């Protein structure tokens, strides 16, 4: 079993829909949680960063972390065609030498 599992895709939604992207993890040491967006043939771009459990909102994006369930989510409200990309969750245990462990990624397509 991989340390980080991400819902399989691809996902296709109409413009304006609310999108929910999810990851689960097995390593209870993880306490830093990130979402990256990756357009085709580009490097990942940091979207959201969350420490420990709770919610964080940034514009149309909301990140949720439930450490008791080892489950994180990214919600996108009023989705736009420009949101079409691959979304990767990433996690770290923290500390100076702590690496990021990524999920497999899910490809989202927002239809006009």
Partner 1 sequence: EAEVAQSPRYKITEKSQAVAFWCDPISGHATLYWYRQILGQGPELLVQFQDESVVDDSQLPKDRFSAERLKGVDSTLKIQPAELGDSAMYLCASSLARTVRGAFFGQGTRLTVV
CB of 104: closest distance to partner 1 in angstroms?
Answer: 5
* 99: CB partners within 8 A, 6+ apart: 92
Tokens of 83: 């949101």
Tokens of 69: 């369930």
Nearer to partner 1, 15 or 45 (CB): 45
Q: Which of 1, 14, 28, 41 binds partner 1 (CB under 8 A)?
A: 41
The one segment of 12-20, 63-71, 73-81, 92-100 that binds partner 1 by CB under 8 A:
92-100
> In this structure, are residues 80 and 110 in contact, taking their beta carbons and an 8 Å threshold?
yes
> Contact 33/44 with Cβ under 8 angstroms?
no
Cis status, amide bond into 89, omega within 30 of 0: no
Q: How far is CA 91 from CA 84, 109, 110, in A?
A: 22, 24, 26
Site for partner 1 in 54-83 (CB under 8 A): none
Q: How many residues contact partner 1, by CB under 8 A?
A: 27
Q: Considering only 14-22, 41-49, 62-70, 73-81, which stretch makes contact with partner 1 by CB under 8 A?
A: 41-49
Residues found near partner 1 in the complex (CB under 8 A): 4, 6, 32, 34, 36, 41-46, 49, 88, 90, 92, 94-105
């Amino acid at each position: 079993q991989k340390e980080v599992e991400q819902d399989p895709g691809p996902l296709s939604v109409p413009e304006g829909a609310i999108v929910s992207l999810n990851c689960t993890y097995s390593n209870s040491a993880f306490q830093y949680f990130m979402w990256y967006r990756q357009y085709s043939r580009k490097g990942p771009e940091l979207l959201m960063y969350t420490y420990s459990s709770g919610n964080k909102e940034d514009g149309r994006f909301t990140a949720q972390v439930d450490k008791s369930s080892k489950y994180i989510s990214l919600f996108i409200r009023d989705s736009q065609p420009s949101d079409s990309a691959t979304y990767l969750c990433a996690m770290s245990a923290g500390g100076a030498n702590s690496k990021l462990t990524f999920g497999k990624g899910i490809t989202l397509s927002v239809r006009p």
